[in-house]
Structures are given as C-alpha cells and as structure tokens.
Amino acid sequence: MVPPQFLSGVYLTPAVNYTCRLPDNQTHHAVVAEDSCSYIITNSSDDGPGLEELCTEWDFDTSVFSSTLTSEFSLVCERGYLRATYQSMYMLGTLFCPVIGGYLADRFGRYVVVVVTQVVMLFTSHTVVFLNSFTAILAVRFIAGSSNMLTLYILALEVCEPKHRAAVGILTGLPWALGTMAWAGAAFAIRDWRYLQLAVSLPILLIFPPLYFMDESPRWLIVRGRHDRALTVLQKAARWNKATLPPNSEMRTLMIDIQAESTENTSKTKDNNLVEVKKKKCRAVPVPNLLKNRAIATITTLLCLDYFVVSLVFDGLNMSGDNYSADPFLYLVLSGLVEVPGYSLTAPLIDRCGRKIPTAVCYLLCGVVILALAFIPPGMSWLVMVMVLFGKLCITGAFQIIIVYSSELFPTEVRLQGIGISSVFSQLGSTILPYITSVLLPQFVWKLLRIVCGRWEGRALWMGRQRMRRQRNLQHWVSANSPYSVRDMFGWLARRKRTVGGRQEMRRRMKSSCNGVPAAAFNRFICLRIGEGGRASVGLYRVQLLHVRCFGLP
C-alpha cells in the first residue's frame, strides 16, 4: 500500500516532453527557443535579434501518459523544481515519524497509533484526487508522509519471539517489493494521474479488516500497568498457537516484576543517586548518552552517515528509471522483482555469516557496479539494465542488514534514540534526493556518496570495538530475559578488573551461584548455558557475574 504513495512522483510527476505554445497572434512572427521555455518575436522590418518572451503555455507529449501533474500544472521551465518538491514534501513529512511516532506510540499505545495513521493515510491519499491547487496537493502530501509511521513494524517485532525478530524484521520488506511491482503495473494500465491515484489508494481499505484481529502490544500493556488487558491478549495468543500459559497468579506476578523493573529503570535515568537493592548498595550507572560516550558517539555518527547515503542510493535507483531504461514501467517492475531475493536471502545469510561480511560485500559491490555505469559505451542498454538491477539487489540487502545491525549495536537505553536519529538522516537523504536526481547532477552525486560510504563502512563495522562486538548479539536476548538492563552490563564491563584465572574462574563462580538465584531475579536460562563455551556463553557468564556482584544472592 505504501510504495504507490512513496514512489508516486515516478509516474505522477515524470519528465514529460513539451513544446512552447505560441500565442495566437504570434504564430507567424515568433520563433520558439531551444529549451521551449521562451520564444523570440521577430520583426520583418528590423534586422535586430528580436524580443524574447517567456512561455506561459505548453503542449505536452501524451504518448506515454495522457495526464500527469507535470502537464496539468505546467511543472516545467521555471516551475520545474516543483516536480522534485512534490516528492520531497512526502519525505519531509516522514521526518516527523521518528520524532512524534515514538512518543505517540508510547503514550497512547501501538495499536491506537496504527489505526489512526492508517485512517489519515486513507483520507489524504483520496483527497489529492479532488484538489485543483498544486499548493494544496503539496500540503496533503506532507500530511500523508507524516502518517507513514513505523508503528506497525514496531508492533510486529514486539509480539514476535526474540530469536525470530531479525528474520521477521527483514521479511517485512517483501510486501514493499510486491507493492513496487504493483505500482508499476497499475501505472501501465492507467495513464491518467487522477484515476491512477484513486486506483492505488483504494487498496488501503484492505488494511482495516486485519486490524480487527490484532491486539495491543502485551509489552506496552504490562509496562503501563494494564495487566488484565495484557493477560487477555496473551491468553488469546496462546489459544491461537495452541500453547499453555502458566497460572494467572504467576502471570500477574511476572507482570508486576516487569512493570517494577521498567519503572525502576525509568527513575534511574532521571538521577544517578545511590540505590539499594536487597540491602546491598550498588552505584547506578549513568544512562549512556549518544554523544557523551565515545563508542556510542562513533556508532551514532557513522550510522547516521550510513543511513543517509544508503537511503539516497536505494531511493535514487527507484526514482531514476528514466536514466537507465526507455520503459519506466518495466524498469520499476524489475526493480521490485530484484528486491525479493534481496529481502528473502538476507535473513538466512546473516544467520550463517553474521552482519559484518554480508554488509561490507553488499556495499562494495553496489558502489563498484553503479560507478561502472559511467564507463559503459552507448548502445549497450541491456548491460546498463543488468548492472543497475544488480546494484539494486546489493543495496536492498545492505539496507535491510543495516537496519537489524543498528538495533543490535545500540545499547537498550539509547536504542530508540539512536535508531530515531538515524532514521531522521535516512529520511533527510530521501528528502533531498529528488533535487539531486532532477535538478543537480542526476548521474554522479549519489554514486560518489555511495563509494564514500563504502570507504567508511570498514570503520563503521569496527566502531563498537571489542566490547561492542561481544555485546551486539546479546542485545535482544538480555532485553527479553533479564530483569536488569544492558546499561548495567555496560557500566560493569567499563570498570571491571580482569578476574584471576580468566574464563575458568568465571565458570567456577557461575556454577557455584546458579542454584541460589531465584527465577524472579534472573532467568534460569543462563544457568542452562554453562559449559557450552563460545563467545555467546562468555557474554552470558559476564551478565550473571554482574548480577552476583551488583545485587548479590538471597
């Protein structure tokens, strides 16, 4: 449903051939300028250069599109920049998504925000069809972009089992690829912009029936103290999945513990006073700031650059079909088609090879392939198409991996802040993209930026240093299974001293303390991992030692 709105500028404001329409009284005494933006009035009795006048009306080519915003509102010559503005207004609206979307979702709930934003999108997408003012259309586009929030994506991840979140997060991109192909097919069948906009907006109605079967995020309900509602949602999910829940009394106890822990962590973010847990004092660790901590500041800076450029290249390949293919419909269909393996193969790839190598390879291949387009001789359009589509495949995989990677690199307490600011830079790249592709340098600017980003990628992948690399695979697990935050682990690891005896000493201390740790204080899953060895187990040992050291045993 979203690609036709996101990529509407491809077919609603295309670059259409046009010719200046001369005034009726000047047809025999005027010559149209080469750019068709002006005409020169000649005088047979005067040998001078003549008087140049600006064109006010144009005749547009209707061989491809019978009606477009470009032709209806004369978005050519001095008004040509408005074609880029049409697309940028939507992306400018999406800049507010990370800013207000998270606040509204935390304040009123994920489900409520999803419903409201879909209603707004339905209303704005249909309203455009009936407007006769281009200024009003731009205003509605801005509102439509503001309603394109990622709350539904967040809701899907929160109700998903932690071990499947990476795969689910990546595979949610498949509908985007299908929507891109459907958008090209609809534009091929309908060449009038008003009917086309109406046709691609009607399917938004299909979103509402599934919303009837969806529920609010149980995590949000528990944190907000709505335990009865959360229990109802969990029981419904258990019936659908044929699972058995613990007794209601135990469920409520767990909910109270989770809410108390969330409240405690929230209060700790406001002051760094000494806290007392089980009569043992442990100094609260200050919440990591995106700029105060050197490692996190490095991550934030490079991810912002990475999001900015990868969004610029991904959207640039989607919207620059007229530079690479004579058939804009076939190009977008193939562009959406290559996204399917880009999304579907990424999930098993990062499970087997990790995040680092696939991301670096995708960036490198995309940069080299796109840059090589400048050296392909004329007449080899098939080779241009193949290379562009291969570059699109690579950048699609890189985009999806970096989304998952960024969520793992940021600590829990600054994850929303970090991803939010990174998303702002991503949307900023998409906002200025139309001006780059249609006004400035359509061929080289964003290609050069892609290479620059690839040059920095090695640094970006290393940016967490050894401590961050050991920690990145534990982020989702610790958030889901530990009653204490990753902040505690960061603070302890930052000031810890090397244990006598190294890893063997840690195992000995772990084994001697597991039996005394109650389930409410720490998940017994850690104790089951003792003896497996490997980097993940060592990380789990450290988390357990953190609780023993900081909070003690009962």
pLDDT band of residue 319 (cuts 50, 70, 90) is confident
Task: Assess whether 414 and 341 both reside in one domain.
Answer: yes
Task: Assess whether 236 and 329 both reside in one domain.
Answer: no
* Angle between helical axes of 381-409 and 412-438 (0-180°, round to 10): 160
pLDDT band of residue 194 (cuts 50, 70, 90) is very high
Mean pLDDT for 63-69 is 91
Is the per-residue pLDDT at 233 higher than 60? yes
The pLDDT assigned to 501 comes to 45
Highest mean pLDDT among 18-32, 123-137, 202-216: 123-137
What is the Cα–Cα distance from 478 to 162, expressed in whole angstroms? Answer: 10
Which tokens hold the place of 544? Answer: 């357990």
Number of domains in the chain: 4
In this structure, is residue 134 part of a structural domain? no
The pLDDT assigned to 276 comes to 40
- Domain end call among 48, 72, 96: 72
User: Any idea what the Cα angle at residue 262 is, between residues 234 and 276, rounded to 5°?
Assistant: 135
Return the amino acid letter for 12: L
Task: Dump pLDDT digits (tens) for 46-65.
Answer: 555 667 788 888 889 988 89
The pLDDT assigned to 99 comes to 66
The pLDDT assigned to 135 comes to 94
Q: Which helix (H) or strand (E) holds 283?
A: strand 280-283
> Which CATH number goes with the domain that contains 294?
1.20.1250.20
Mean pLDDT for 157-182 is 76
Task: Dump pLDDT digits (tens) for 386-412.
Answer: 999 999 999 998 888 888 788 778 775
Q: Average pLDDT of the chain?
A: 73
Q: What share of the chain is helix, strand, coil (3-state, %, to 5)?
A: 70, 5, 25
What is the Cα–Cα distance from 59 to 62, expressed in whole angstroms? Answer: 9
pLDDT band of residue 273 (cuts 50, 70, 90) is very low
Contacts of 20 (CB under 8 A, 6+ apart): 32, 33, 36, 37, 38, 39, 55, 57, 58, 59
Task: Assess whether 432 and 487 both reside in one domain.
Answer: no
What is the Cα–Cα distance from 328 to 332, expressed in whole angstroms? Answer: 6
Return the amino acid letter for 549: R
Task: Assess whether 298 and 434 both reside in one domain.
Answer: yes
The pLDDT assigned to 289 comes to 60
Nearest partner of 405 among 448, 369, 353, judged by Cα: 353
- Domain end call among 264, 283, 302: 283
Side-chain-facing half-sphere of 195: CA atoms under 13 Å: 10
Is the per-residue pLDDT at 69 higher than 90? yes
Is the per-residue pLDDT at 239 higher than 80? yes
Task: Dump pLDDT digits (tens) for 426-457.
Answer: 888 888 888 877 655 544 544 555 555 544 44
Residues 363/91/70/77 CA torsion (nearest 10 deg): -80
Is the per-residue pLDDT at 19 higher than 60? yes
Q: DSSP 3-state assignment of 40?
A: strand
The pLDDT assigned to 539 comes to 41
In this structure, is residue 452 part of a structural domain? yes
The pLDDT assigned to 190 comes to 93
* Angle between helical axes of 81-94 and 412-438 (0-180°, round to 10): 170
**Number of residues that make up the chain:** 554
Neighbours of 223 (CB within 10 A): 18
Side-chain-facing half-sphere of 290: CA atoms under 13 Å: 14
Is the per-residue pLDDT at 226 higher than 70? yes
The pLDDT assigned to 265 comes to 53
Task: Dump pLDDT digits (tens) for 477-514.
Answer: 334 444 334 344 344 344 443 434 444 444 444 444 44
pLDDT band of residue 91 (cuts 50, 70, 90) is confident
Strands 280-283 and 274-277: antiparallel
What is the Cα–Cα distance from 379 to 93, expressed in whole angstroms? Answer: 40
Task: Assess whether 494 and 388 both reside in one domain.
Answer: no
520 vs 11, which has greater pLDDT?
11
Mean pLDDT for 301-308 is 88
What is the Cα–Cα distance from 394 to 402, expressed in whole angstroms? Answer: 12
Task: Assess whether 349 and 337 both reside in one domain.
Answer: yes
Task: Dump pLDDT digits (tens) for 355-392.
Answer: 888 888 898 999 899 888 888 887 888 898 999 999 99
Residue 280 DSSP class: E
Contacts of 42 (CB under 8 A, 6+ apart): 29, 30, 31, 50
- Domain end call among 228, 259, 283: 283
Does residue 177 contact residue 343 with C-beta atoms inside 8 Å?
yes
The pLDDT assigned to 267 comes to 53
Task: Assess whether 353 and 234 both reside in one domain.
Answer: no
Task: Assess whether 292 and 263 both reside in one domain.
Answer: no
To the question of pTM greater than 0.85 for the whole model, the response is no
Does residue 272 contact residue 286 with C-beta atoms inside 8 Å?
yes
Does residue 431 contact residue 91 with C-beta atoms inside 8 Å?
yes
Task: Assess whether 493 and 394 both reside in one domain.
Answer: no
Does residue 68 contact residue 193 with C-beta atoms inside 8 Å?
yes
What is the Cα–Cα distance from 324 to 316, expressed in whole angstroms? Answer: 12
pLDDT band of residue 208 (cuts 50, 70, 90) is confident
Task: Assess whether 458 and 482 both reside in one domain.
Answer: no
Nearest partner of 442 among 338, 322, 326, judged by Cα: 322
Q: Is the dihedral of CA 64, 70, 72, 77 positive or negative?
A: negative
Q: 75-79, 154-158, 318-322 — which is least confidently predicted?
A: 154-158
Paired strand residues for 282: 275
What is the per-residue DSSP string for 12-36? HS----EEEPPPGGGTTSEEE-TTS
Task: Assess whether 277 and 310 both reside in one domain.
Answer: no
Mean pLDDT for 192-216 is 88
Is the per-residue pLDDT at 312 higher than 70? yes
In this structure, is residue 199 part of a structural domain? no
CA distances to 128, 143, 526, 551 from 548, in Å:
61, 51, 13, 6
The pLDDT assigned to 235 comes to 86
Does residue 116 contact residue 101 with C-beta atoms inside 8 Å?
no
Mean pLDDT for 517-531 is 40
What is the Cα–Cα distance from 125 to 207, expressed in whole angstroms? Answer: 14
Nearest partner of 548 among 515, 510, 501, 496, judged by Cα: 510
In this structure, is residue 98 part of a structural domain? no
What is the per-residue DSSP string for 495-539? H--PPTTHHHHHHHHHHHHGGGS-TTTS-THHHHTTT--HHHHHH
Highest mean pLDDT among 124-138, 250-264, 340-354, 524-538: 124-138
CA distances to 84, 94, 457 from 88, in Å:
6, 10, 27
In this structure, is residue 153 part of a structural domain? no
Identify the domain containing residue 277 by its residue range.
218-283
In this structure, is residue 188 part of a structural domain? no
In this structure, is residue 369 part of a structural domain? yes
Q: DSSP 3-state assignment of 551?
A: helix
Does residue 128 contact residue 200 with C-beta atoms inside 8 Å?
no
Which tokens hold the place of 144? Answer: 């439509």
Q: 241-245, 412-416, 546-550 — which is least confidently predicted?
A: 546-550
In this structure, is residue 241 part of a structural domain? yes
Task: Assess whether 307 and 378 both reside in one domain.
Answer: yes
Paired strand residues for 41: 30, 51
